Amino acid sequence: MFKKILIANRGEIARRIILACRELGISAVVIYSEPDAGMPWVRLADESYPLRGATAAETYLDQEAIFRIARVAEVDAIHPGYGFLSENAGFASACAEHDLVFIGPESKVIQLMGSKAEARALAMQSGVPVVPGLDSAGMQDVELVAAARDVGFPLLIKASAGGGGKGMRIVRSAAEFLDVLPLARREALSSFGDDHVLIERYLSNIHHVEIQVLGDKQGNIVHLFERDCSIQRRHQKIIEESPSPLVTEDLRERMAEAAVRLARVAGYENAGTVEFIVDGSGEFYFLEMNTRLQVEHPVTEMISGLDLCSWQIRIATGETLPFKQENISRRGHAIECRIYAEDPARDFLPSIGTLTTYRAPTGPGVRVEDGVESGSAVSPYYDPMLAKVITWGQDRPEAIRKMGRALRDMVVLGVTTNIPYLLAVLEEPQFQAGNTTTNYLNEQMAGWTAETGIDEDMLLAAAVFEVLNRGGKEMHRGNGTAGDAETASDPWNDLSAWRNL
């Protein structure tokens, strides 16, 4: 087992990995940018090292600085979390050059599956269904137009090296194809340094369903069932759940078998996710493979009882999976909601500021993964996700009810959040019926506006915070004795107008 791991990430995923390290008896080392100094996950780590700068490029993407700190801290391995360098094949390769274990798949597998074109070819080779389409490599634009007509419109042009919806354009006719193609290529080149694009038939009213896989270095690969991630805005997931409300046992078995087969052909090890789209007739098609831990991994952990983060580390040390597919079962239903500092009523504009009050929900079947606390600053430099709330129930209706209660109990003051928007989704009839596609938010939530009613719990939390804050200020005005501090910080001593008798 490793003695010390450096976490090349920040926020809630850094905190999640720290907890996994502690349970395994491993020292956790974190790095932090100037805006992240003082964040709770920095204090939670066994060791922390500063990075100069604020932007991602200056800090969490600076490989030279990361390896320098890894050498000083004398770590055995690096866990990349998700985002940043987690799917960077060059970084994984450089870890080996620095005698460090990269906690993830081999660099050659990251590179293979990171190319949508190569991953698509591998899927076809493995007998995994793919969306009808073609690879533009080596083809002239005139040839592509003719081939596009054969595939059939509407079409989707997407970057081979892309993700998150960048370098992706819908083309509805041959007349606009030659106009849109160079735009998609330029966006792909600007975003990913590669203008290679794929042409695929555009399928509307689809469901986004992914299969979690886990493989060890001995060639054993299992799946941990599916997650439904159809609730998306701009190709970014905001609600995920498992099991999928639309997947039948037959479809689940066929998709899982295809995912495991693809992973085996790729020589995959560690945690990974094979993403599919499912059309209205129940046919599924390979979309891509994410070679890292997913943001939504907690819903799989909740229904399977397996700790994915811990198993990532254990597999990286060479441990063999002690369970086979037939030993893995699922129980109940889990839902995850991503809490963002953003304003859904203003086109999801990020909300920057200080969390004057932050209170996470608790209770049976409620799990929260976060990287903030009261007083934490939400900066413009990173993703505005504050936390993930995950609930578990015996069935889907129970999980939804628990999520509604948890989100209403959650207090976030100082910035605008998407909590009211998430609650509106949870209460919407189509969502409750499990009848949602990737177009759901555009179709059912277009024009949504927040209610203007006063939330008494939020006002009470703000009042308590103000009283406590005043108490702290009074303490500094005293003569510095323990009695003064004790009296000044007691909110009841500041409430002369009433008493709870």
Q: Among all chains, which residue has been given the structure tokens 């500041």? A: 494
Alpha-carbon separation of residue 92 from 89, 107, 161, 335 (angstroms): 5, 5, 17, 32
How far is the C-alpha of 52 from the C-alpha of 186, rounded, in Å? 32
Amino acid at 312: Q
How far is the C-alpha of 306 from the C-alpha of 279, rounded, in Å? 30
Pairing of strands 27-32, 47-50: parallel
Name residues whose C-beta falls within 8 Å of residue 241's C-beta, 6 or more positions apart in sequence: 227, 228, 299, 333, 334, 335, 336, 396, 399
Burial of residue 446 (CB within 10 Å: 0-12, 13-18, 19+) is exposed
Pairing of strands 77-79, 4-7: parallel
Coil/strand/helix, residue 217: coil
Q: Per the omega criterion (within 30 degrees of 0), is the bond before 243 cis?
A: yes
Run of H or E including 354:
strand 353-354
How far is the C-alpha of 31 from the C-alpha of 64, rounded, in Å? 13
Coil/strand/helix, residue 269: coil
* Contact (CB, 8 A) for 104 and 269: no
Q: Which of 10, 120, 169, 292 is catalytic?
A: 292
* Contact (CB, 8 A) for 31 and 41: no
Coil/strand/helix, residue 310: helix
Verify whether residue 314 is a known catalytic residue.
no
* Contact (CB, 8 A) for 21 and 311: no
Start-to-end C-alpha separation, the chain: 57
How far is the C-alpha of 93 from the C-alpha of 72, rounded, in Å? 20
DSSP code per residue over 120-144:
HHHHHHTT--B-SEEE-TT--HHHH
Name residues whose C-beta falls within 8 Å of residue 490's C-beta, 6 or more positions apart in sequence: 471
Amino acid at 418: N
Name residues whose C-beta falls within 8 Å of residue 422's C-beta, 6 or more positions apart in sequence: 238, 239, 337, 339, 407
How far is the C-alpha of 152 from the C-alpha of 177, rounded, in Å? 12
**Active-site residues: which are they?**
292
